Amino acid sequence: MSKILVIDDDPMAVRLIELSLSAEGFEVVTAASAMEGLRAVRTERPDLVLLDIMMPDMDGVEMCRHLRDHSDTAHIPIILLSAKTQLDDKIKGLRAGADDYITKPAEPREVIARVEAVLIRAKRVSPARQGRVIAMMGARGGVGTSTLAVNLAILLVQRQVLTALMDLHHYAGTIAQQLQLPVGSSLVELLDMEAEKIDGPQIEKRLIRHPSGLRVLASPPAGMGRLELPLAHATAIVRNARQLGDSVILDLPHVPSAAVKEALVLSDMALLVLGPEAADVERAEQMLPLFDDAGLGSGQVYLAVVNRTQSTRSLAVSEIERRLGRSCLGGMPAASDQLNLAATQGAPLVLAQPNSMAAVSLREMAERAYAKVSSLVF
């Protein structure tokens, strides 16, 4: 369901458009001024903006230029609404970056048709690079999400998929340590910037290259990070991450926050990582509404089961799938000794022991994950 933001200071016009679009299944949010609209663009993240030109606080054409000049809003389709019917007025609006121009009063059917047409065109337009974003999130801390993210990312690189791994643990990350990369502050450097200045090239400059070919946005170790991941910064980082490769893997904190939810909203697919114990399944069950709220359907959220040790209390994968109503892309067999050895050697398991049972299982999971995310159509 697409979200439409209607910005107009005429309450009657707004109400008519809102009723018409809602009847067609669109989610509609409204704003009565340009300033209110600018705030709504950043908080609501609409799929399209219907923007009136004649407003008291800011001209709609000026607001259109403002949205086009900022990297985090430049991609949003905009349709201008105006009682001005002169050709010069339309040209002025289109040159400001509008995707379409509707003269008032407009028939509801025309508004709906133009909204649908612009949304279809927006989905067909491909930027220079449109990589797929896979979010990985653990049902709890310490379940092995970061370890799994590292191994899956390297396996994608070995498959000749240009991949970037983003460690978004703003307070204490482990990916740089696992890969024996310099413990840098590349994430912190981005958080020190103004959010609107974060773009693909700025992120690219801060990626650290691993000998495998994987590129990593490293987060700081414990004690050097930030107490929170700002929503605006997380949004800018994830929005621009698609430019960084064919596949972008996000290693997200397991504690939900506004920034984590927005990262999920901007992702194409999510892997919920959990152990096979009943407590992990219960925790994962509590987290599923987070993915639903982010707009990720059952065909975009999958499970990954990590067995760190053999246990008689482990649930079967089929039982976990039944209880959570999600499919499992694979699991990693009990391999605590192998994982510990890999960590000691500073090499991920798929590089240190590529023929081990665990590495083979990981390889199969990586193949399935990439096949799933590549087949998604938006």
The rounded distance, in Å, linking the Cα atoms of 26 and 366 is 35
Side-chain-side CA neighbours of 5 within 13 Å: the count stands at 24
Per-residue pLDDT of 306-335, as tens digits, reads 886 666 678 999 999 999 999 999 877 766
**Whether residue 1 has pLDDT greater than 80:** no
Would you state the torsion angle of the CA atoms of residues 269, 273, 279, 283, taken in this order, to the nearest 10 degrees?
A: -30
- pLDDT class of 204 with cuts at 50, 70, 90: confident
Domain carrying residue 30: 3-124
146 and 75, same structural domain?
Answer: no
Q: What is the pTM of this model?
A: 0.65
208 and 283, same structural domain?
Answer: yes
Per-residue pLDDT of 229-241, as tens digits, reads 889 999 999 988 8
Domain boundary, last residue among 99, 124, 149: 124
Please tell me the predicted confidence (pLDDT) of residue 48.
94
**Whether residue 305 has pLDDT greater than 80:** yes
The rounded distance, in Å, linking the Cα atoms of 266 and 274 is 22
- pLDDT class of 378 with cuts at 50, 70, 90: very low
Residue 178 sits in a domain of what CATH number?
3.40.50.300
Would you state the torsion angle of the CA atoms of residues 334, 335, 340, 345, taken in this order, to the nearest 10 degrees?
A: -160
State the CB neighbour count (10 A cutoff) for residue 107: 10
Strand order across the 48-52 sheet: 27-31, 3-7, 48-52, 78-82, 100-103
Beta bridge mates, 303: 272, 328
200 and 74, same structural domain?
Answer: no
152 and 83, same structural domain?
Answer: no
Domain boundary, last residue among 106, 124, 142: 124
The rounded distance, in Å, linking the Cα atoms of 66 and 101 is 17
169 and 273, same structural domain?
Answer: yes
Residue 45 region by backbone torsions, left for phi larger than 0, else alpha for psi between -120 and 50, else beta? left
* CA-to-CA dists, residue 100 to 50, 86, 203, angstroms: 10, 15, 32
State the CB neighbour count (10 A cutoff) for residue 65: 14
Domain boundary, last residue among 104, 124, 144: 124
Residue 35 sits in a domain of what CATH number?
3.40.50.2300
101 and 75, same structural domain?
Answer: yes
The rounded distance, in Å, linking the Cα atoms of 216 and 245 is 11
How many structural domains are present in the chain?
Answer: 2
246 and 157, same structural domain?
Answer: yes
